Amino acid sequence: MNSNIPEIAPNTPPAEILRTGIAAAGGPVSLACSFSLEDVAIIDIAHQAGLNLGVFAIDTGRLNEETYEVADALTERYRLKIDWYFPKHEDVEQLEREKGLFSFRESLDNRHECCHIRKVEPLIRSLKNLKGWVTGMRREQSVTRSELKAIELDEPNGGILKINPLIDWSERQVMDYAKEHNLPTNRLYKQGYRSIGCAPCTRAIGPWDHVRDGRWWWENAENKECGLHRR
């Protein structure tokens, strides 16, 4: 278990948070990439800073076509190697045979079950040989993320480091960075999407809605996590 957690001052630049976290991890560190604006910005920041940061992604089987387009663009632009992980096919088959294709809309327990099969279990495998992982989470995204730290100990995942370099950034800062650096951007953002996950669980929202209102819109805000970020 890694107990060496550096103290990070507020508004520390993302590149410095990444550099500090990677050094403190003392081993391989990878970004959990969902191809959001945040994750694409982190890839660019790490590339510009010459940091040794791996990238992995989880293909849940329910992603939008537009998300795959961003993955392809990143691979070409940065000569990026993405380590893809998939749900165990037997678990997906059993879920859909027993409960159908949209059981996640019937109850919170059912939604957590689907997220566990399609996201959490593959994540556990993807983190197995890492000393740290990087996320694109920001404090302002939701009430479930307001207490996040730039670098923290991820006890549920074996005590590795969890690095959140954009912790203090606003949505506007992320958008401005993407525009300034001409980053590959999911086309769904131009259609009113502001947080993009699995296709059946994500929808467009209005400009005055909260950034996470389009995720699992049938649930209360305090429940809007998939289990990837256990605390």
**Which residues are tagged catalytic?**
226
Residue 227 and residue 119: Cα distance in Å, rounded? 8
Contact between 157 and 124 under an 8 Å Cβ cutoff? The reply is yes
From the number of C-beta atoms within 10 Å of its C-beta (0-12, 13-18, 19+), residue 136 rates as buried
Contact between 132 and 27 under an 8 Å Cβ cutoff? The reply is yes
Contact between 227 and 118 under an 8 Å Cβ cutoff? The reply is no
Contact between 147 and 138 under an 8 Å Cβ cutoff? The reply is no
Structure tokens at 135: 């996320």
Structure tokens at 103: 């059981």
Instruction: Tell me the HSE value of 192 on the side-chain side, using a 13 A CA sphere.
Output: 10
